[in-house]
Chains A and B, each alone.
Chain A
Amino acid sequence: MAVSTGTPPAASRSNVPRGPEPGAAPVRGNRWHRAERRLSPYAYISPFFIVFGVFGLFPLLYTAYVSLTAWRADTDGSQHDFVGLDNYRTLLHDQFFWNALRNTLGIGLLSTVPQLLLALGLAHLLNYRLRGRTFIRMGVLLPNVTSVAAVTIIFVQLFGRDFGLINWFLGLFGVPHTDWQAGTWSSWIGISTIVTWRWTGYNALIYLAAMQAVPFELYEAAAIDGASRWRQFRSITIPVLRPTILFTVITSTIGALQMFGEPLLFSASQTPMAGGSQHQFQTMALYSYDQFWGKFKYGYGAAISWAMFLVIVVIVAVNFLLARRMKGVEAA
């Protein structure tokens, strides 16, 4: 392939060893063509980066600046009161921040892991040849469509202490009434239930789209070799799905670390930002929101948001590395 070596050819992963091919050469090789090849990738990614640069990057940097000030709405003239890293130092000793971090991680694990496993199983079921599959697929995605207002009202009813359906149901088996919002574990389980309910179908659909790309012949061949269904799932489906799984792991991790709506909805109290009577389910996002909008501590709220961003970066990076390693092991 007579391509200039300066720019690696597109889609070159598999064409490295290939020699020149007769008949193809005359068409390629002119300058315009090469320039098009070299530049078009940048043209293709530019819409995203332009939108992000204007509407994402600037706000981000601005918030970073705010986090270095002592700005609060209840203090005149505090807006340009530059305090360096003071807010971040305060943060290190802020028991409410560490509490929020612990809650976020706990609820995050409780919701993400079961949710993705369930989604994988569900996608597998959806991948069968089904009657009424359009209906079923849509049905599975409905939790994500249903309006937040309806979801709020329904879940608060379900988790009601005195007259909630869940307590009523558990009561049939002799379980005493639980005040779901009161305890640490009970509230974490409650919130994880809402998260799992809302997002399992969504992730299942994403898995399904990727599963459909698995050539059926692979399964046929495996079946002929006597591989069980489970074995086929493990050694054919999972490897093909790996990029998608990585994708969902990362997006759900990010989603879990930014969790805001569900604990808010679950709270069922006059002070939903508090995340429970002892902040037992106040997440990082709730805490930063409460400090920022509730208490009008703009500088400190911005610092919490940035700290949260850093925490997310670290955890996602760890995720990435783990996923890489697992990939290496299995591929071997």
Chain B
Amino acid sequence: MSDTGSRRRTWLAGGGAVLAAALLATGCGSDSTSKSGSGGDANAKITLTVNLFSDFGYKDLYAQYHKLHPNITIKENRADLGAHHQNLHAHLVAGSGTADIEAIEIGQVAGFQSQASKFVNFLDEGVDKNQWVPSKTAPASSRDGSSLFGLGTDMGGMALCYRADLFKKAGLPTDRAAVSSLVANWDSYFATGKQFLAKSPDKKVKWFDAGSNVFSAMTAQAPQAFYDADGKVIADSNPAVKQAFDAVAGAIKDGESAGIAAFTPAWDTGFRKSQFATVTCPAWMSYEFKANPPADGGKWDIATIPGGGGNWGGSYLTVPKQGKHTKAAVELAKWLTAPAQEAWLFKNKGFFPSDQALWSSPDIANLTDPMFSGAPTGKIFSESAKNLKPQPLGPHGADIGNIYGNALVSVEQGKAGTDKAWSNANAEIKNIGE
């Protein structure tokens, strides 16, 4: 998730999960602890631990792997997004406490670049970088590119999900191709929103769920968003960011936003109660649609994202050097991110593969999803992924996206005008410092 914060529900996660912190630790300088386990008996019985920040859909794959390697048992642990990455930071600095495999989210990965030397370099382990597009590998590489410390899992190719039945009631086209061309860019998307609001018989239905989500999608498409290629924060001076902010704030003023905080229970209710007609949806969000079908029997369909392309979310698997079984962990991480497993995950769990060869494989490209009225999700997400322009990321990219998102919430709440919200957000970004 390149931009707005928590792709998963950081806020709740067991109520207190957010209360949980993690901890960092000092440099008590135990980095040089001798690591065993890399060599030794290849058939010794071992347990590999895998720390994730949500369900990656791996359960069946573990069983399969255990069959292939009966001596290896896999134990997965999950925490919420925030706590997971805080813990990883802490345990890296402390020199102990990480699992054999640790997942990292794309919005967080740049923050680990300076610690690349604490992870196994997959380039030394026979991994071919070209399995992924450069925009996927670059953030998980050391700054000089000599080390690749993360293997790409899924990615968030984007689309626009819309309620065909509500479109029909408002006199808009319902056909995918027609909708895609109707909202080909963001201006026409917002203009169509106005039209929808004017004609929709049910005035409680808004055009989109939350300004912050639309803003995420828009900034994800820009060649540069919050950081430039030198790693300098350019958020407040980047016209692309300002334009997106103003456009979304304008749409909010026009009443297009339902103003519901994304990834909260109120958002779930919004899906059920049909409070909005469109959602900018990355592939991994399909879970949300499945879990919260509209109570009025309406159906979602899926069209191309305005502006085309863009990525929101996706993750990596890493192997910290401090682990006990780095060799075995590397093998497992490679296997989990291999094309066959990635294809399986898309077909069965909805996680769109970051493996670029799969985007053209008929297996993936021809996949349709009955939940979205039989839409060719494979094709839509593949094309979105192919259109993706690589964007420089920085350690606080997720924070900055969150700050703008939060500022847009204050506009939605009627507590700040566009300009005040913008300047407040920039003051806060300055406060992050460098």
Seen from chain A, the residues whose Cβ lies within 8 Å of a Cβ on chain B are 72-76, 79, 94-96, 147-153, 156-157, 160-163, 179, 181-183, 260-261, 264-265, 267-274, 277-278, 289, 292-298
Contact = CB atoms under 8 A, between A and B. Distances in A.
Nearest to A273: B18
Contacts of A297: 432-433
Interface string B47-58: 000000000000
Nearest to A267: B11
A270 B269 contact: no
Given A152-B15, A298-B24, A268 B396 contact: no
A217 B402 CA distance: 63
Interface of B: 4-6, 9-12, 14-16, 18-19, 21-22, 24, 26-27, 82, 86, 89, 93, 111, 114, 212, 260-266, 269, 273, 275, 395-396, 399, 402-403, 405-407, 409-410, 412-416, 424, 427-428, 431-434
Contact of B111 (A73, A179, A277): A73
Contact of A269 (B275, B399, B409): B409
A153 B11 CA distance: 11
A150 B399 CA distance: 28
Contacts of B266: 156, 160-163, 268
Contacts of A260: 19
A163 B6 CA distance: 24
B265 A270 contact: no
Contacts of B402: 270-271, 274
B36 to A, nearest CB: 28
A243 B26 CA distance: 42
A289 B21 CA distance: 8
Contacts, number: 131
B264 A269 contact: yes
A296 B22 CA distance: 11
A179 B413 contact: yes
B433 A270 contact: no
Contacts of A270: 4-6, 9-11, 212, 261-264, 402, 405
Contacts of A162: 260, 266, 269, 273, 275
Nearest to A271: B402
Contacts of B19: 148, 260-261, 264
B16 A261 contact: yes
A122 B10 CA distance: 37
Contacts of B14: 148-149
A264 B428 CA distance: 19
Nearest to B110: A74
Contacts of B260: 162
Which 8 interchain pairs have the tightest Cβ spacing? A152-B15, A277-B410, A182-B413, A149-B15, A277-B409, A148-B15, A74-B395, A269-B261
Contact of B265 (A75, A79, A150, A157): A157
Contacts of B111: 73-74, 296
